[in-house]
Structure 1
Amino acid sequence: MNSLLSEKGDLVDCECRMLRKDGSVIWTSRNASAVHDKVGNVAHYQGIVRRSLNVSGLRRLDMRAMNGIAQ
């Protein structure tokens, strides 16, 4: 994520696959940006990670389609 922020400056609706403690997969959407100090150096990052049912549902369909699993 740091390399993407360095290249682009901001992440907007970046979809990311995450694992829960039980091993199940969820898809999240991330928004983040670098916060700079007075000199222009990156001081820290701020952002939000959210799980969208629409994103997760679409990803499940995509994964099923890639694996040839019919509903």
Structure 2
Amino acid sequence: MKPSYVGKRDDTDLLRKKIIEMPYTEWKKMGFSKGTLHYMKQNAKADKPFTLNSHNKERLDKWEKLVANS
């Protein structure tokens, strides 16, 4: 039996690497709590699939663009 709904997964290797490398100080400057990044890092380090809230994904993408422009 196949599930009727399968959500889009966010757990690519590149995304996991970005989350693990994200410094807490940079995350805090963008207006998020240290706890949010902590749990994102725990999920990224685990071998299980995970998803991100849209606002967390947007901020992570914004941070990546800032780092690329530096």
Q: Which has the larger radius of gyration?
A: 1
TM over 0.5: no
Higher helix fraction: Structure 1 or Structure 2? 2
TM-score by length of 2: 0.31
Structure showing greater relative contact order (alpha-carbon pairs closer than 8 Å, 6 or more residues apart): 2
TM-score by length of 1: 0.31
Higher strand fraction: Structure 1 or Structure 2? 1
